[in-house]
Amino acid sequence: MKNEEVLLTSSFALRTSNFSRKEVTRLRRIAFATAAWVAAITAAHFALNINWAVLMNDRLPEPARKLNVAYIPVT
């Protein structure tokens, strides 16, 4: 009885699958490429848009910190 249930379940899963093995592989490649693209853009953002010196300065002990003065020049 249990074997029949497993066979019915697996055959049902095979019948309801709308994608062929080739399509699933293509979709996985697209998903991997999209994830890699997002990771690359995120890494570029962190490298280019974050002032790491200021971020690390905040983690130093208070006597070793440098004073960062920010201003907006007005002309």
Mean pLDDT, each 10-residue run in order, the chain (75 residues): 54 63 92 97 92 81 78 71
pLDDT, position 3? 55
pLDDT, position 55? 80
Per-domain residue ranges of the chain: 2-48
Q: Could you tell me which residues come within 8 angstroms of residue 60 by beta carbon, excluding any fewer than 6 positions away?
A: none
- pLDDT tens for each residue of 47-64: 998 888 778 887 888 888
pLDDT, position 38? 98
* Distance, CA of 56 to CA of 71 (rounded, Å): 20
